[in-house]
Structure 1
């Protein structure tokens, strides 16, 4: 089994970037994805310059936390952006699985393009695409993905979360069905076979998937996931039989 450990939220803050650097140095993560609209994109660019030979750097599309890069009066009027304390912030969580008008989707797509282009402007070479709170797998944004990856030459994308060992059989069946539909729509895009949460894999006994399966696990160094960090640091990947650590550049 080939295993990608991806640190989400790179660029969110100096603290997150420092933690990601520590986990890269410790050999615990092989990939990370960058947020364009948060507090330390400059630090993310420095991480890329230092670790680009060994770690893949993707884009972490974000419409659920922080402020947009582009102003949109339409999205404010429709409630997808809100004004608070003289700032405009995202308010997309309640809309992520709704089908909106073509004009609204065009406005959102402009924001996503601005985020990708800003990361590229900082010299970061994008290996793959995923999103904050998995918005790219919801009904609102999913139809945009084929055009986005084609426009920017991004050939790889995180799949729907389908590694859920603690879920009910009905939940797993529905997730697998949705994952297959997403894969069908994005059949020209490369994805791993499975995607899940690092803690689920750790607590489930570090399950080795059969054959040449590729599993991506997400983690969040430097955030509010201290227990996850402890478990990640204690894992000796070298000692795990039939497990090979890779990054997104290698698939």
Structure 2
């Protein structure tokens, strides 16, 4: 068995349905719990510095069968550490320099120029993971906001942080061809971008293998972010081969709190919530979370 993949020797389809942005708003938290209770969602990744973090922790502790990971934020959010300890990560152009860079493109450009220190990424990721663990949550895995760990410059320090904290699994953020082909409502430019990013997938597998962490065979629904509806989910489930896959989703309630939050995903969260309820309970796959990969 490869450590970077779940055991798929037995012909079986296993599915992790993971909601990102747990803790963002009360409506997002409510959607996560409702979907989990309806057997339409098995996992969620919690943001350590989100405004509704405390409520999310309470809900997670009340729903012990929900797998909870750490949604490590390095862009478009607030750090867990004092900004003075992670100066290469904060936005020096902002008025108070207390937030990460807002745009992913700016973060990636600075990362590729070598201007972001991997030691600071490791320290910040460790702080976010430990904040969850200090509440009593068993952190099943790590992933990143906007999938920044696609890039080796983020992946390596994130793996070190996970290992230091005893976390045993990580999201495989790369979407397979069968899933891309089954996502009919995505634009050609967006599909090309996702395909190009897959050039990093070999490096990802090598690094995760070296760290001896577990992951899935791939992520689905990434291309459909913002457009994930019931038809798309049905198409993905129909095309899904044997293996262990993660459906990445962002359900919630498009209420006033969400509209005031720093997110572009608004109406789509209502659509996803309804779509998951309509499809996942009837999926011909074993629903698991990252803590059940071994």
- Does TM, scored on the shorter chain, surpass 0.5? yes
- Change in Cα spacing, 1:51 to 1:182, as seen in structure 2 (3 Å) is same
Displacement of 1:84 after TM fit? Answer: 4.8
Q: 1:71 and 2:94 equivalent?
A: no
Q: Deviations over 1:41-62 (max 9, x none)?
A: 111211221112x221110000
Show structure 2 runs of 5+ residues with no match: 1-12, 254-265
Q: Please give the TM-score of this superposition, normalised by the length of structure 2.
A: 0.74
| 1:10–1:65 Cα change, 3 Å | same
Could you say which residue in structure 1 is the equivalent of 2:7?
Answer: none
The structure with the largest strand share of the pair is: 1
The alpha-carbon deviation at position 230 of structure 1 amounts to 2.2
| Structure 1 outlier segments of 4+, above 3 Å | 73-76, 82-87, 99-103, 166-177
Match in the other structure for 1:233:
277
Give runs of aligned pairs for residues 62-141 of structure 1, distance below 5 A.
62-73=73-84, 76=87, 80-82=90-92, 84=94, 86=96, 88-91=98-101, 93=104, 94-96=106-108, 98-99=111-112, 101=114, 104-141=117-154
1:34 aligns with 2:46: yes
* 2: CA distance, partners of 1:180 / 1:101: 21
Alignment correspondent of 1:7: 19
Partner of 2:70: 59
Greater displacement, 62-71 / 95-104: 95-104
What's the TM-score, normalizing by structure 1? Answer: 0.85
The gaps in structure 1 that reach 5 residues or longer are none
Q: CA deviation at 1:109?
A: 2.3
* Number of the residue aligned with 2:5: none
Q: Distance in 2 between matches of 1:67 and 1:170?
A: 31
1:14, 1:39 within 8 Å by CA — same for their partners in 2? Answer: no
What is the CA RMSD across the aligned residues, in angstroms? 2.7
- Checking the alignment, whether the CA contact within 8 Å between 1:6 and 1:216 is kept in structure 2 is yes
